[in-house]
Amino acid sequence: MSEQPQTRGDFAVELRGITKTFPGVIANHNVNLTVRPGTIHAIVGENGAGKSTLMKTLYGMHQPDEGTIVVNGSSRTFRSPTDAIATGIGMVHQHFMLADNLTITENIILGNEPTTSRGRIDFTAAHDSIRRLMSTLGVDFDLDAPVSSLGVGQRQRVEILKVLYRGARILILDEPTAVLVPQEVTELFVTLKRLVAEGATVIFISHKLDEVLANCDEITVIRQGTTVAHTTPRETDRRGLAELMVGSDLPDPSGRETSVGDTVLLQVSGLDVAGTVAGSKLALDDVSLRVHAGEIVGIAGVEGNGQFELCEAILGLTPAVRGSVTLENRDISDAPTRERIGAGLSYIPFDRHREGLLLDAPLWENTYLGREDDPALSSRVFTRRRAIEADSRTIIERFGVRTPNEHVPAFALSGGNQQKLVVGREMASNPKVLLAAHPTRGVDVGAQAAIWDELRHARDNGLGVLLVSADLEELIGLSDTILVMFDGRITAELDPANATPELLGTYMTGEVQGARS
């Protein structure tokens, strides 16, 4: 182990030359990171740039192939998260790991229960130490309340308490603001600032540049698996940071030659969808929109503001309480999903693993999925294996899916290639309207450019696209119209020519509600 004595104690965390490869892709390559104690240190990068892989390395969830991890001046090897926790590193995952039916106290002490001399759980001691932590954080919970009664922001606070309770002084937060509404984001940073004031160190993973610039002390940028810059909010601005994140070969989502057609392909009128819990407010509240031939309508919004329900309701996967969906002058409001797909709807789902792919099945089965009623691929009863495989090869070829052949299982492909396969499948049926939810989420820059090209090309040939995305540049660059969703409603309609991410941001947080033209 090469230890440089002059750095001893200067940094809370120091990563030197970390490389971690997964089959077929390099997730991290020669990553160098130095985090000063008592700071909020942001790690920014695009989706798929390798931020999470790096943090998993630091948290001991997997071991690096090369490189050194130095914590508080001494070099460490983490065989598991247990080792990392013992060193004072804690992680708050993007998806909370709380047991809903247990109380806040029980969740916090789970796995680390203080015991009385008689071997029982010492709840008094637990309450005392949790109260102390709460006053440090500046929060106040009824410790005996079940976690199920808490909101998202509060749950996140409980997760932080849980990590602190285990003695963490270095906290890793993996995209903590992705699930929060704006006020909660503000509260979270208040909490984090109190923490660092007490001497803790926070490593904050994000791709939201504004909150990073506003709240973090130092910033490290990751691009394509490696660290490319170390900077501070004083030295840079949003534009500079964005350039660092995507590099000079930034694929440009903008540019079109043709104009939007006159035909309305998809018309959604006054659509209401019930909330998940009976009696709660509507998940989709009086949503109306139109998609013309050759038009890309972008939907902007913080995740969880009704975008998912909108797509599900258009497809007929979730019943609408009220309102209608018309596809090319045909009212499909009561048609089953299969019929809607047959009539020319296509869907790139939000999460390709959960809704888009059969990971264990070969690619030819994956490209067949959802297209069983295509007479070229099946007879009335039987599948046409040869035709399906040939069709699969065509999709693989046309969309540049990197695979040896159509027989390998889908899990063997990288994320970008999996997504290209899904996009290819959805385009292969020559749809009239495509619902594209985060079509380039978690894919590499090359695949992103390829997918954008395909979307543009199809649009120029008259396809109508409803594009849901969290990537504001993508929305502004591709869309002909941008609608903003907030709290289940469409709150603004913008012309992308005048839209900036900042402007979109203000609408997305619900602070401003624009008039619809």
Strand ranges inside 408-453, DSSP E: 433-437
197 interacts with other proteins by CB under 8 A: no
338 interacts with other proteins by CB under 8 A: yes
User: Which residue, 65 or 243, is less far from other proteins as judged by CB?
Assistant: 65
Selected from 341, 484, 492, 508, the binder of other proteins by CB under 8 A is 341
398 interacts with other proteins by CB under 8 A: no
516 interacts with other proteins by CB under 8 A: no
| Residue 245, number of CB atoms within 10 A of its CB | 19
409 interacts with other proteins by CB under 8 A: yes
- Binding track over 347-376 against other proteins, x by CB under 8 A: x-x----xxxxxxxxx--x--xxx-xx---
User: Which residue, 340 or 489, is less far from other proteins as judged by CB?
Assistant: 340
- Shortest Å, Cβ 382 to other proteins: 5
What value, to the nearest 5°, has the Cα angle with vertex 95 and ends 94 and 99? 140
- Shortest Å, Cβ 358 to other proteins: 4
Token code pair at residue 312: 């599900």
With contacts defined by CB under 8 A, name the span among 52-60, 248-256, 315-323, 507-515 that binds other proteins: 315-323
- Shortest Å, Cβ 378 to other proteins: 5
Selected from 36, 330, 407, 516, the binder of other proteins by CB under 8 A is 407
- Distance in angstroms (rounded) separating the CA atoms of residues 188 and 383: 53
User: Which residue, 120 or 407, is less far from other proteins as judged by CB?
Assistant: 407
Token pair 């009824």 is found at: 142
Q: Which of 285, 261, 289 is nearest to 274 (CA)?
A: 285
- Shortest Å, Cβ 360 to other proteins: 6
- Distance in angstroms (rounded) separating the CA atoms of residues 201 and 97: 22
- Shortest Å, Cβ 359 to other proteins: 7
User: Which residue, 333 or 403, is less far from other proteins as judged by CB?
Assistant: 403
- Shortest Å, Cβ 380 to other proteins: 8
387 interacts with other proteins by CB under 8 A: no
- Distance in angstroms (rounded) separating the CA atoms of residues 277 and 104: 22
DSSP of 251-286: PP----SS---S-EEEEEEEEEE--SSTTSPPSEEE
Token code pair at residue 151: 């909101």
- Shortest Å, Cβ 232 to other proteins: 38
| Residue 155, number of CB atoms within 10 A of its CB | 18
- Shortest Å, Cβ 403 to other proteins: 6
User: Which residue, 120 or 338, is less far from other proteins as judged by CB?
Assistant: 338
- Shortest Å, Cβ 393 to other proteins: 12
User: Which residue, 196 or 359, is less far from other proteins as judged by CB?
Assistant: 359
Q: What is the helix (H) or strand (E) element at residue 484, kind and residue range? A: strand 481-486
Token pair 């294996």 is found at: 385
- Shortest Å, Cβ 266 to other proteins: 17
415 interacts with other proteins by CB under 8 A: no
Token code pair at residue 88: 């004072």
277 interacts with other proteins by CB under 8 A: no
- Distance in angstroms (rounded) separating the CA atoms of residues 59 and 9: 20
User: Which residue, 61 or 250, is less far from other proteins as judged by CB?
Assistant: 61
Token code pair at residue 210: 């504004």
User: Which residue, 153 or 349, is less far from other proteins as judged by CB?
Assistant: 349
- Shortest Å, Cβ 346 to other proteins: 10
With contacts defined by CB under 8 A, name the span among 243-251, 333-341, 467-475, 509-517 that binds other proteins: 333-341
Token pair 């997305």 is found at: 508
What value, to the nearest 5°, has the Cα angle with vertex 454 and ends 46 and 44? 5
Q: Can you tell me whether residue 222 is helix, strand or coil?
A: strand
**Footprint of other proteins on residues 10-49 (CB under 8 A)?**
23-25
7 interacts with other proteins by CB under 8 A: no
- Shortest Å, Cβ 363 to other proteins: 10
5 interacts with other proteins by CB under 8 A: no
With contacts defined by CB under 8 A, name the span among 56-64, 203-211, 407-415, 491-499 that binds other proteins: 407-415
Burial 343-378 (b: 16+ CB within 10 A, else e): ebbbbbbbebeeebbeeeebbbbbbbebbeebeebb
In terms of Cβ atoms closer than 10 Å to its own Cβ (0-12, 13-18, 19+), residue 415 is middle
- Distance in angstroms (rounded) separating the CA atoms of residues 301 and 486: 6
Sequence length of the chain is 517
- Distance in angstroms (rounded) separating the CA atoms of residues 500 and 472: 8
Give residues with Cβ within 8 angstroms of 394, minimum separation 6. Answer: 428
# chain residues binding other proteins, by CB under 8 A? 42
477 interacts with other proteins by CB under 8 A: no
Strand ranges inside 400-504, DSSP E: 433-437, 464-468, 481-486, 489-494
With contacts defined by CB under 8 A, name the span among 139-147, 161-169, 324-332, 403-411 that binds other proteins: 403-411
- Binding track over 119-138 against other proteins, x by CB under 8 A: --------------------
- Distance in angstroms (rounded) separating the CA atoms of residues 310 and 308: 5
User: What residues line the site for other proteins (CB under 8 A)?
Assistant: 23-25, 315-317, 336-338, 340-341, 347, 349, 354-362, 365, 368-370, 372-373, 378, 381-383, 402-405, 407-409, 411-413
